[in-house]
């Protein structure tokens, strides 16, 4: 299957700092990428849909000014958590679609963020 990578795999930061997470589709081009967040013992929650060359679409309740998403190319989307606080500590996962009718989404390995 298609491969999606994320970097970094884990990050620890101080409260108030910003953290950038990269999501790359390694062997295919992805017009659309998705960002999810998963808290312990919970399911994945979609945060936003990232479209190449345009603004991201955020789910209800997700602060667009806090979670900045950039999708500058067909293989790279970034999520920046601005002014991170301990409650932002979570597992952030991206996915990318292969496109087309009945397309499949492939997920990255996730980034674990711990804000102290």
Partner 1 sequence: DAKTTQPTSMDCAEGRAANLPCNHSTISGNEYVYWYRQIHSQGPQYIIHGLKNNETNEMASLIITEDRKSSTLILPHATLRDTAVYYCIVRRTGTASKLTFGTGTRLQVTL
Applying CB under 8 A, which residues contact partner 1?
A: 1, 4, 6, 31-32, 34, 36, 43-46, 49, 51, 91, 93, 95, 97, 99-110, 112
CB-nearer residue toward partner 1: 76 or 82 = 76
- Tell me the closest approach of the beta carbon of residue 83 to partner 1, in angstroms: 26
Distance CA 91, CA 23 (A): 14
Do the beta carbons of residue 19 and residue 12 sit within 8 Å? Answer: no
- Tell me the closest approach of the beta carbon of residue 8 to partner 1, in angstroms: 14
- Tell me the closest approach of the beta carbon of residue 105 to partner 1, in angstroms: 6
Q: Cα torsion for 81, 24, 94, 109, to the nearest 10°? A: -110
Please enumerate in sequence order all residues whose Cβ is within 8 A of that of 37, keeping only pairs 6 or more positions apart, or say none.
44, 45, 47, 90, 91, 92, 93
CB-nearer residue toward partner 1: 1 or 53 = 1
- Tell me the closest approach of the beta carbon of residue 99 to partner 1, in angstroms: 5
């Amino acid at each position: 299957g298609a491969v999606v990578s994320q970097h970094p795999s884990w990050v620890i930061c101080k409260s108030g700092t910003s953290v950038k997470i990269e999501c790359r589709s390694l062997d295919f081009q992805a017009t659309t990428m998705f960002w999810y967040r998963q808290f312990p013992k919970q399911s994945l929650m979609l945060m936003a849909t990232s479209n190449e060359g345009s603004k991201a679409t955020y789910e209800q309740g997700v602060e667009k000014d806090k979670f900045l998403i950039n999708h500058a190319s067909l293989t790279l989307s970034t999520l920046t958590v601005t002014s991170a606080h301990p409650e932002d500590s979570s597992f952030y996962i991206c996915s990318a679609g292969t496109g087309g009718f009945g397309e499949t989404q492939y997920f990255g390995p996730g980034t674990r963020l711990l804000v102290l």
